[in-house]
Structure 1
Amino acid sequence: MEITVTADGRLTWPGGDFRCVLGRGGVKADKREGDGGTPVGAWPLRRALWRADRLERPSTALPASPIAPDDGWCDEPADPAYNRPVRTPYPASHEALWREDGVYDVIVVLGHNDDPVVPGLGSAVFLHVARPDREPTAGCVALPLPDLLRLLEDCGPDTVLRVVEPTP
């Protein structure tokens, strides 16, 4: 299955169509670490993560595992664990996956810059929960929790999320 995300903030797949939130830097064909851009390309959905203290396991055919309080994701290009999960405390720059704001209550890890990892080309690009005010992300794709849970029902190991460039 393919999920399509357009630069104007639409996410569509054979089962539906939702408004989504993108990176503060817009859609980027040349994604770089820290630019706030949502990368153009086709990204496999690797797995789902969720806060088991807040939600039941999402209904999905994706591999899924609960987030632990010490889970993080390295975003330091010079670190050997760049764009990989880490355990906190971690000495290099990283994102905490256990957050109080609910944004990472459900995370879908996208296969962006992971096979192979290239330092500086972007890290921690996820599909995750949108903030209630729909504030732009740091480069991820975000949906309100009910929409994200609905989408996950249709996702499996062969699902790809395609972010397309704006049409001129």
Structure 2
Amino acid sequence: MRPDDLVLTPRGLRFQGRLYPCTIGKTGCTARKREGDGATPIGVHRIVGMLYRPDRMARPADWALPIGPRDLWSDDVEAEDYNMMVRAPYAASHERLRRADPLYDLILLTDWNWPYAVKRRGSAIFIHQYRRAGFPTEGCIALARANLRKIAARITFETRLIVPEACAR
């Protein structure tokens, strides 16, 4: 492991010598990730992007991209754009990135099943803000807003998310 890796542990997400409380998928971790299973995929995942809401926060890093009103994420396993960022209008099933709640005000994008998505293998494993402490996700990793912002300001293009086989908590 490298010093700038984000490592999921039974007690939280370890990064640069600190431990940050976090939540994972509602069904735990899996090596057999599937669309809609609510699980966090085991493995080593690169951080491939950062998105943020410019109307709600300052740019967290110089390489972060703003989320616009028409930005979506395709989660339709039959769509050509499955597991890709798309723009409205978009007829296939999708998730809005510009949400009314603050969950996606800051998103760290992982390379899970990206850029060449395998259908039904699962889409969009993000690191984002949680609803509240202990509230699980649909497979993403979520943190308190302040902790997510601290991490976002310090990650680099070499940062990886490591979800070990022993991540079940």
Alpha-carbon distance between aligned partners in 2 of 1:71 and 1:115, rounded to the nearest angstrom: 17
| Deviation string, structure 1 residues 61-96 (Cα, Å, up to 9, x no partner) | 6x3111001100000111100000011221110000
Does the residue aligned with 2:146 lie in a helix, a strand or coil?
A: helix
Structure-1 separation of matches of 2:14 and 2:89: 38
Pair 1:21–1:115, CA change in 2 (3 A) = same
Matched residue type, 2:7: T
Q: TM-score, normalised by structure 2?
A: 0.92
Matched, 1:94 2:97: no
For 1:12, the equivalent position in structure 2 comes to: 14
Classify 1:140/1:9 alpha carbon distance in 2 versus 1 (closer, same or farther; 3 Å): farther
What does residue 32 of structure 2 align with?
Answer: 30
SS at match of 2:152: helix
Q: Determine the structure 2 residue equivalent to 1:2.
A: 5
Contact map agreement 1:40 1:164 (CA 8 A) in 2: yes
Q: Distance in 1 between matches of 2:151 and 2:133?
A: 20
Partner of residue 46, structure 1: 48
Cα distance in structure 1, aligned partners of 2:99 and 2:11: 24
TM-superposed deviation, 1:134? 3.7
- Displacement of 1:29 in angstroms is 0.9
Assess, with a 3 A threshold, how the Cα gap between structure 1 residues 115 and 86 changes in structure 2: closer, same or farther.
closer
Structure 1 stretches of 5 or more lacking a match? none
Q: 2:81: which partner in 1?
A: 81
Match of 1:21 among 23, 29, 40: 23
- How many residues are treated as equivalent by the alignment? 165
**C-alpha contact (below 8 Å) 1:9/1:22 kept by paired residues:** no
One-letter amino acid matched to 1:45: I
Q: How much has 1:9 moved relative to structure 2? A: 5.1
Moved over 3 A (4+): none
Distance in 2 between the 1:82 and 1:116 partners?
9
Counterparts of 1:147-158 in structure 2, within 5 Å, are: 147-158=147-158
Supply the RMSD in Å over aligned alpha carbons.
1.6
Identity of aligned residues (%): 39
5+ residue gaps, structure 2: none
User: What's the TM-score, normalizing by structure 1?
Assistant: 0.93
- Alignment CA distance shift 1:131-1:9 (3 Å): farther
Q: How many angstroms does 1:18 deviate by?
A: 0.7
CA distance in 1, matches of 2:11, 2:26: 12
Contact 1:73 1:96 in 2 (8 A): yes
SS in structure 2 at match of 1:166: helix
